[in-house]
Amino acid sequence: MELLRGRIRDYAWGSRIAIAELQGRPVPSDGPEAELWLGAHPGAPATVDRDGSPVSLTELLLAEPAHWLGERVVGRFGTRLPFLLKVLAADAPLSLQAHPDAEQARAGHAADTGRVNYVDPYHKPELLVALSEFEALCGFRDPAESAAALAAFGVPVLEPVVAALRTGPAGLREAVRLLLSWPEAERAGLVAAVLTADVAGPDAVLARSLAVDYPADPGVLVALLLHHVRLVPGEAIWMPAGNLHAYLRGTGVEIMAASDNVLRGGLTPKRVDVDELLRVLRFEVLDEPVVAPVAVAPGVVTWPVPIEDFALHRVEVAAGGPGVRLTLPGPRVVLCRVGKLAVDDGVGTVVLGPGQAAVGTAAGGPLVIGGEGEAFVATCGLR
């Protein structure tokens, strides 16, 4: 194992406390810190030390792919790390967004020569595990519930949207299309009409909260078509391709397929390509967006997902014990969340404190994690 130094992304919605506090730096930080990237994505690759100088993990993978990734991973994903591990810290809502599936990403990237929507040919399913109380929008809820929520505002111009939703899942596409195609000049009035309605309840609270930052964005109403979930630490949300979602606030560990393909659907000043979003979205009800951890060994849990790009495990190590041994294939990235942990893959040992990470190659043996604390281990999902 080797020490891995991640990169912090300073998006405006980021926290000035969470990541700095995790890493033991002074708080608040000088500016927003939204995500700590621990991987080889070209947008912000992590580094390892070579002769006293930082070297991009991306460069190392390209130089020795078989050593770092292993033959199976190279055969399946090519000479790139197929997953990206992050710490995400949201102090304000992120945009409503969805990601293409693998076939859509390949075709979209080939056709999108201007790289407007598809910057790479890869899909981007995501799993987020809450480290704090975490609030998110995730997947379409029962359209009948959404119809009732919008009808309660008593805004006549919303009647076509309500009527579409009352037809069931088949009407979701039309409801989303109507809202996101709302005439630009009328959007502020639409949101204002909803906010001034004499309505109570969680849907009104959510709409009013989102409208603080986006007073003329129809995404405020699209948000009411989705599950509004509140995770406790250890719970997760799984976001497959075509699933409309948004993080609202909280801190979590996120793992995803290494892609940057994002189609936005509101709650953003950035471009919303309505036609392409409608083509990518899955207009079906997501029955259960929350994923509970599954124990796989003493002190080890995972959140099973139906893809090969990544797997995520949480390891809790008790003081004075023998440590935890994990046999996981391919390259491994280990993030220490609390405590002091020694991570050994038979090639090298790294001692990690909170907020520090290590990376090991496919050439390493089983992981042995000792000391006391908690770690997240990211690997490929190949078995």
- Confidence label for 49 from pLDDT (cuts 50, 70 and 90): very high
Rounded CA separation 360/347 (Å): 8
pLDDT for position 287: 85
Mean pLDDT of 318-324: 89
Structure tokens that stand for 296 in this block? 């796989």
CB 151 within 8 A of CB 162: yes
Per-residue pLDDT tens over the stretch 249-264: 999 999 999 999 999 9
Q: Of 203, 229, 147, 164, nearest to 211 (Cα)?
A: 203
Q: Give SS3 for 28.
A: coil
Rounded CA separation 173/27 (Å): 44
Structure tokens that stand for 334 in this block? 């280990």
Mean pLDDT of 33-53: 96
Rounded CA separation 271/193 (Å): 24
pLDDT for position 320: 85
Rounded CA separation 8/45 (Å): 10
252: β partners: 88, 130
Q: Are strands 134-140 and 126-130 parallel, antiparallel or unpaired?
A: unpaired
Q: Reply yes or no on whether the pLDDT at 321 is more than 90.
A: no
Q: Positive or negative, the Cα torsion across 109, 114, 117, 120?
A: positive
Burial bucket for residue 100 (CB in 10 Å: 0-12, 13-18, 19+): buried
Span between the terminal Cα atoms of the chain, in Å:
21
Q: Of 43, 44, 14, nearest to 29 (Cα)?
A: 14
pLDDT for position 72: 94
Q: What is the DSSP letter of 201?
A: S
Rounded CA separation 319/316 (Å): 10
Mean pLDDT of 368-376: 97
Q: Reply yes or no on whether the pLDDT at 322 is more than 90.
A: no
CB 333 within 8 A of CB 359: yes
- String of DSSP letters for 13-74: TBBSSHHHHHTT--SS-SS-B-EEEES--TTS--EEEETTEEEEHHHHHHHSHHHHH-HHHH
- Rg over alpha carbons for the chain, rounded to the nearest Å, is 22
Q: Which residues belong to the active site?
A: 264
Q: Positive or negative, the Cα torsion across 373, 374, 379, 383?
A: positive
Per-residue pLDDT tens over the stretch 76-126: 999 999 999 999 999 999 999 999 999 999 999 999 888 889 999 999 999
